[in-house]
Every structure is written in C-alpha cells, then in structure tokens.
Structure 1
Amino acid sequence: MKIIDKLAWIEIRDGRILSTRSKGRSKYYIPGGKREAGETDFQALQREIQEELSVNLVEESMTFTGIFQAQADSHPEGVQVKMTCFEGRYTGTIAASAEIEEVVWLSYADRALISPVDQLIFDWLKEQKRIW
C-alpha cells in the first residue's frame, strides 16, 4: 500500500471549517500539503499555507489535532493519504493564491463535497461538536 504523507491546517469559525478548491478540481480540501526534504512539520505547513492562502501561521500557537488516513482522492484504489492536522492562529488576510481557485467555509452538511480523508476529519470534528 502506498501512503501519501500530508499536513493540514484546521481553521474553524462559527462552526464551519476553512476549505479550498484548486484550479481544475471539483472537490474541496482542508488547506495544507506535502513536506519538502528537510522541512519540519511547521515549516512545511507554513510554506503551503503561505502559498495557498497568503497568510502566516503563528508557530508558537500551533497544536497537534490528530492524524487521519483514508483512500486518496483521484488515485488508484489502495493509495492512501495520511493527514497530520494542526490548528493555530495566523496573521494576515486569507485570500486564494497560487493553484487555489476558491476559499470557502464548509459545514458538516457539505461533507459530500470533500475528499475521503477530509470526510473523516469532518466526522471527528462533528463528534467533538466543533462543526455543525
């Protein structure tokens, strides 16, 4: 089994979670991405979030949320994505950048619009009564 190792930044406001849609894609994803060689989790997540959303994460505020794993969207059966999630403050104004076409705040009712691993994260956040 192949595993795609990714990081994600969870930002929740008023019971909704920040999500993005890349150009040419139909599904929404929790923002984040893959590490580059030699990067720490924070360095990789900061780089990805800066590229995608034009904001800077505040390192000392970052807390580990959890690890979720599921079938990778748009990959052959058996390819899994492992998402290591963090939460924390940011500075700046969130705006779509680079490959991001749309930034939205999704509720649990939007679960069908997201990838399988994000669905697991949505389920967990709903159980925790953090999104509705």
Structure 2
Amino acid sequence: MITKIAWLHLRDGHILSTRSRGKDKYYLPGGKREPGETDEQTLLREIREELTVTLDPASLVFAGTFEAPAHGHAPGVLVRMSCYYAPRYTGQLQAAAEIEEVVWLSYRHRPDVSAVDQLIFDWLRGQNLLAE
C-alpha cells in the first residue's frame, strides 16, 4: 500500500493537475509522507516543492480518502490518497522539482489521469464540482 496526500484545487469546474517528467499520466499535486509528518505537513511541503506556492494551513479541509491500483506499479499494489481542499495560498503556481507540466483538467480528461485520480474525478463530478 502506497499512501499519498493530494491537493484538490478547483477553479471554474477544472482541477489543477500535474505531470512529472517521464510520466504518461497526470496526477493530482501532492505526494508521499516523510517519517513523522502529518497529512498537513506533507501537503504543505509537497505543494511548495512541486508548485512553488505556500498553502494556508488554516484553509485546509479534508475532502476524502480514495483507494485504487497504483499506476506504474506491480499488479496488486494499491495507492490510498487522502485529499484536502486548500483554497488559500500565496505565490504563483509553476512547475518545479520533478513536475514538467501544470494543467487544469475537466472531467473529459479522466482517461489521462491515474486510476485513483479517476475515482476522485468521478466523485467531484457527482458533486457537480468538475465540468464535463
């Protein structure tokens, strides 16, 4: 089981997503917890490293946890993604570290994201938060 923390950042029915160098799928921004980190610490660190912005910890709201087969891993390996909204941040969104591309996706891009992100896209669409 791989555990990750992700940022759900929506604007005008689109969700912020990223593609790492050498990857063929888009992933919601975030990443893996380092030893001793809380979800909040992990999310703040990963977003600062990947997108050069600082999330406002007071604006973090837990959205849900989703589980699916891990993209690019051996069969049977699962990823468990805990997702948070954080509408307030400082800085300008831009690709950094291993991130090659930052994009805004709608539901029609569902085939272009990882399996766990597809579940999240379905959930967001069901809440009328993600445009067709």
Query: Which category describes the TM-score, using the shorter chain as reference length?
Result: over 0.9
Partner of 2:57: 59
Alignment of 1:1-132 (within 5 A): 3-88=1-86, 89-132=88-131
User: 1:92 and 1:98 mapped to 2: Cα distance?
Assistant: 16
For residues 31-68 of structure 1, what are the alpha-carbon distances to aligned partners after superposition, in whole Å with 9 as ceiling and x for unaligned? 00011011111111111000000000100110000000
* Distance (whole Å) between structure 1 residues aligned to residue 81 and residue 89 of structure 2: 20
Sequence identity of aligned pairs in percent? 59
Q: CA deviation at 1:26?
A: 1.2
Q: Which runs of 5+ in 2 are unaligned?
A: none
- Any stretches of 5+ residues in structure 1 without a counterpart? none
Q: Distance in 2 between matches of 1:100 and 1:45?
A: 15
Please give the secondary structure, in 1, of the residue aligned with 2:119: helix
Letter in 2 for 1:23: R
Please give the root-mean-square deviation of Cα atoms over the aligned residues, in Å.
0.5
CA–CA distance in structure 1, aligned partners of residues 17 and 90 of structure 2: 17
CA distance in 2, matches of 1:128, 1:91: 27
CA distance in 2 between partners of 1:49 and 1:13 (Å): 17
* TM-score in terms of structure 2 length: 0.97
* CA distance, structure 2, for counterparts of residue 90 and residue 108 of structure 1: 24
What's the secondary structure of 1:122's corresponding residue? Answer: helix
User: C-alpha separation between the residues in 2 aligned to 1:67 and 1:50?
Assistant: 22
- In structure 2, how many angstroms separate the alpha carbons of the residues matched to 1:50 and 1:107? 24
Equivalenced residue count is: 130
- Any idea what SS the aligned residue of 1:110 has? helix
- Matched AA of 1:24: G
Separation of aligned partners in 1, 2:39 and 2:79: 16
The TM-score, its normalising length taken from structure 1, stands at: 0.97
- Equivalent-residue separation in structure 1 for 2:67 and 2:127 (angstroms): 18
